[in-house]
Structure 1
Amino acid sequence: MSYPRYFWRKGYFNFKMKGSIFMRKIPLLGLVITLVSLLLMAGCGSTSTGTSSPVKEPDTITVAWLPNTAGDDLKEARAEIDKVIEKATGKKVEDKLTTDYAITVEALASGNAQVAWVGAQQYIEAHAKNDKVLPLVVNSGDSGTLNDALYYSRLVVKKGNEEQYKSGDGFSIDNIAGKKMSFVSSSSTSGFKVPSAAIITDFTKQDKWKSLKQEDLLQGGGDKFFSQVLFGGSHQLSLVNVLTDKADVAAVDDIDVASYVELTSGAENTPGAVYTVRKDAAAPFDKLAGVQYVVIKAIPVLNAPIVANTGVLSQETIDAITQALTSDEVASNTKIFVDKGGKGFFNKPQRFLEVEDTWFNPIRELSK
């Protein structure tokens, strides 16, 4: 499996991937009984891993959703994904709407939720807790391939404050030290892991911050990198923090806020781009219409996977879900793949593609 060419071309990730048996004499009859019992056990049940451990599937498949995707405005999009899974498996599907990233990760790892759409970092954390949690599909880039299967993590400031971060004709994050910072969650890929890695890369070049680590960015204070650190809990609320002056700088991705804002000037996801909250924006932006923000840094991120706990679903069920999601029928479903700016998770002309665990190694590297 290859990684998006953008990462290799830009050099974001440069790394190399890498009983004893006790026997004793037993009566012949006992040996025969034992062998027969083992054969019967091996023949019982279906498995999701090809081993002899049987899988007892739940009658209802529970799909967990992160706080970013649990809002009422995305109810129809969630329902459409549920319908695809119901049709493919013949099982009832119900949603588990979470208020915290950690809840989603734990539900998936424990098997209380069998399927989830999560960021790369949440997948990695769930897989570390239970290696039977595996990715099924990821949305492609506009090319229909994995080469541009990317979205963006951005550091943004409220319009009117951007001059503090100017550097020549462009922008710099040199002045974010000492500011009030809003992240999404310490488990968020684009709302913490990726932007914090970018901050560390920039600032460890300075003698003052040469020992800076990710954990140093989790708390604020007089002797800390940031004067105050907030966690919005979702990308929407992290952006609200900066728009309402609770924070000076916020980490926010482009996809989770796309339906609430519109590009006013500049190029998408580039430093200097200005976005404006739409007049008809739903909560939590309904009282912020017309308020603007400016991107001061943008970093590409691997697209988020739909994952499953393969320890509690049979291979037949997993194959059925994967085949349904990667079908042309789903790719042409306008309630799943919407026009850009529409209320949905994915944009046309993207589609779902199968993906493997190793595809997410670049994100794993950020925590090393």
Structure 2
Amino acid sequence: MKRSLLFLLSLLMLFVAGCSSSSSGGASGDKDTLTIAWLPNESGADLTEARDEIGKIIEEKTGKKVKHQTTTDYIVAIEAVANGNADMAFLGAQGYIEAHNKNDKVLPLVVPTGASGTLDDAVYYSWLAAEKDNADQYKEGDGFAIDNIQGKKFSFVSNSSTSGFKVPSTGIVDYFSEKAEFKDLTAEDLLEGGDGNFFSEVLYGGSHQGSAVNLLSGKADVAAFCDTCVNNYVELEDGEENRPGAIYKVKTDAAEPFNTVTGKEFQLISVTPVLNAPFVVNTDNISEDLQAQLLEVMTSDEITNNEKVFVPEDSEFSGLFKKTADERLVEVKDEWFNPIRELSK
């Protein structure tokens, strides 16, 4: 009797496991729908057409339906791909590392290159900026220095942001820890403001756009955000792009959230190159065959030459990537992101 009962229970467990595997799609490649999670920076209405264009090409080439999961919080996008609720995601380097640490089945697929079409210049820029009228207090000789940011109201993006927290916080700690009074300063000390803290107040924009608006609306004295996430909303007024001293102005027809600060100007006081953001996949959800299909699609000329994905410099279209020369998406491996991992050591 006991043997019969155990046999029946074993059959039942196999049946349940089989149903679970079939319903989830798992690595079987039977998924009918691919869900792509997007960070808040790429979740705005102005980028709907750009997101949809990538989804449409994936649908045409793989036969799978694509669902876009937009978010208002970095953690939501990171958790979605780590726990399998999303199959793919477009994350910053730090966001990818956090997702991979939660689930080592999350791996990078492709990353946008630089103008060379290779990984050699696959970088964007982390900015520290001040309103133009206040920028002189951060000048040092003919250049700029960050000595006077201490005690100010400061805006980060999210503590899961590469260029909006990880890189600038590391830079701030490295710079100030050379001074005796700040020799024990850590990135954790920058998370909150107030009496006895490094900053008088710390704000989080939730997105790069939000952090920039914190600055331009007067809520913050200095803000961290990146070039690529605000390029659709601002234009260079003076100086050299992505160099300290450059002055940018919000376009008169800028979309939300910049529509409340049109015409405002800010000046860069610090600029740091950062590794480009990857598209990542949850390899528990996506079979090897489908991963290979996605890699072929994302690195194809159809993506590279699509002006809604790689937007020409003279275009008014709000896209994800700029096309200045030979930019495209190329395959990338986990170890390429080790320099960002090193920032946490």
The equivalent of 2:37 in structure 1 is 64
Contact 1:136 1:306 in 2 (8 A): yes
The equivalent of 2:176 in structure 1 is 203
Cα distance in 2 for partners of 1:56, 1:266 equals 51
Contact 1:183 1:231 in 2 (8 A): yes
Which digits, 9 at most, give the CA deviation of each residue in 1:60-84, with x for residues without a partner?
1111011000000000000011112
Cα distance in 1 for partners of 2:114, 2:74 equals 25
Q: 1:359 aligns with which of 312, 336, 341?
A: 336
The equivalent of 2:146 in structure 1 is 173
Q: 2:233 aligns with which of 240, 244, 260?
A: 260
Contact 1:260 1:278 in 2 (8 A): yes
Q: 1:346 aligns with which of 321, 334, 338?
A: 321
Cα distance in 2 for partners of 1:194, 1:342 equals 29
Contact 1:134 1:357 in 2 (8 A): yes
SS in 1 for 2:121: coil
Q: 1:282 aligns with which of 255, 268, 272?
A: 255
Q: 1:327 aligns with which of 300, 303, 314?
A: 300
Structure 2: state its 5+ residue gaps.
1-13
SS in 1 for 2:280: strand
Contact 1:153 1:254 in 2 (8 A): yes
Cα distance in 1 for partners of 2:136, 2:72 equals 35
1:58 to partner: Cα distance: 3.1
The equivalent of 2:9 in structure 1 is none
The equivalent of 2:67 in structure 1 is 94
1:300 aligns with 2:264: no
1:56 to partner: Cα distance: 6.1
1:226 to partner: Cα distance: 0.3
Contact 1:271 1:297 in 2 (8 A): yes
Cα distance in 2 for partners of 1:332, 1:93 equals 21
Cα distance in 1 for partners of 2:29, 2:119 equals 34
Letter in 1 for 2:151: G
Cα distance in 1 for partners of 2:79, 2:180 equals 39
Structure 1: state its 5+ residue gaps.
1-36
Contact 2:29 2:290 in 1 (8 A): no
Aligned residue pairs: how many? 321
Contact 1:57 1:312 in 2 (8 A): no
Cα distance in 2 for partners of 1:289, 1:313 equals 43
Letter in 2 for 1:352: L
Letter in 2 for 1:257: V
Contact 2:152 2:201 in 1 (8 A): yes
1:88 to partner: Cα distance: 2.4
The equivalent of 2:132 in structure 1 is 159
Contact 1:55 1:311 in 2 (8 A): no
Cα distance in 2 for partners of 1:56, 1:259 equals 37
Cα distance in 1 for partners of 2:155, 2:99 equals 24
Cα distance in 2 for partners of 1:57, 1:258 equals 39
Cα distance in 1 for partners of 2:161, 2:32 equals 31
SS in 2 for 1:312: coil
1:329 to partner: Cα distance: 1.8
